[in-house]
Amino acid sequence: MERTLKMLAREAKSRLKKGFWERCEEELDERRRTAREQGISESKMERYFAEKVAGSIRGETPDEFYLKVRKMLLEEGEVSDAIGRLTDRAYYATLSYEEKQRYNLELSERYLEALKRFKKEYEFEQGKRG
């Protein structure tokens, strides 16, 4: 569904009324303090936080693939057979040799992006808890 300007304005007004920005400011202050205590770059943390808030405003939710990668990384860490574990075996069996090569390449790229995202998020989530 395409969000109209009127819908976007209504959502922004709702965020103001419900204290969204005040909560963001409080969380940002807390994360800055934690970043300083842990020696994490405050500007790096602020960029991460801004991306997270912007995604929240856009209504983005983590995709299923990322959640699968995140679960694997939290439970087992980085494993040498990550691509094999993430492969949809039933679908893979239907592919030609060339399609399998393309699938592996695309899956590898998606995994590397998810791994990069996980490391960035994990660094700041750990800092928030610590």
Domain boundary among 45, 60, 75: 60
Average pLDDT, the chain: 85
Domain boundary among 60, 84, 106: 60
- Angle at Cα 121 formed by Cα 118 and Cα 123, nearest 5°? 105
Instruction: Please tell me whether residues 56 and 66 are part of one structural domain.
Output: no
Contacts 24+ apart (CB under 8 A), 12-21: 15/57
Q: How far apart are CA 87 and CA 31, in angstroms?
A: 36
Give residue 15's domain range.
1-60
- The pLDDT score that the predictor gives to residue 76 is 93
Backbone angles phi, psi at 41, to 5 degrees: -60, 120
Instruction: Please tell me whether residues 52 and 106 are part of one structural domain.
Output: no
Number of folded domains that form the chain: 2
- The pLDDT score that the predictor gives to residue 127 is 54
- The pLDDT score that the predictor gives to residue 70 is 93
Instruction: Please tell me whether residues 119 and 77 are part of one structural domain.
Output: yes
Domain boundary among 11, 33, 60: 60
The closest alpha carbon to 113, from 75, 76, 62, 74, belongs to 62
- With bands split at pLDDT 50, 70 and 90, how would you rate the model's confidence at 45? confident
Instruction: Please tell me whether residues 49 and 67 are part of one structural domain.
Output: no
Residue 130, amino acid? G
- Mean pLDDT across the stretch 14-36? 88
Instruction: Please tell me whether residues 111 and 71 are part of one structural domain.
Output: yes
- Mean pLDDT across the stretch 98-104? 91
- The pLDDT score that the predictor gives to residue 55 is 74
Instruction: Please tell me whether residues 51 and 109 are part of one structural domain.
Output: no
Dihedral of the alpha carbons of 32, 33, 36, 37, in degrees to the nearest 10? -150
- With bands split at pLDDT 50, 70 and 90, how would you rate the model's confidence at 112? very high
Q: How far apart are CA 85 and CA 66, in angstroms?
A: 13
Instruction: Please tell me whether residues 67 and 23 are part of one structural domain.
Output: no
CB 63 within 8 A of CB 92: no
What does the pLDDT look like over 51-89, one tens digit per residue?
778 877 776 666 888 999 999 999 999 999 999 999 988
Instruction: Please tell me whether residues 73 and 56 are part of one structural domain.
Output: no
Instruction: Please tell me whether residues 66 and 130 are part of one structural domain.
Output: yes
Instruction: Please tell me whether residues 112 and 70 are part of one structural domain.
Output: yes
CB 107 within 8 A of CB 87: yes
Q: pLDDT higher for 129 or 17? A: 17
Instruction: Please tell me whether residues 56 and 72 are part of one structural domain.
Output: no
What does the pLDDT look like over 3-15, one tens digit per residue?
788 888 888 898 8
Instruction: Please tell me whether residues 39 and 53 are part of one structural domain.
Output: yes
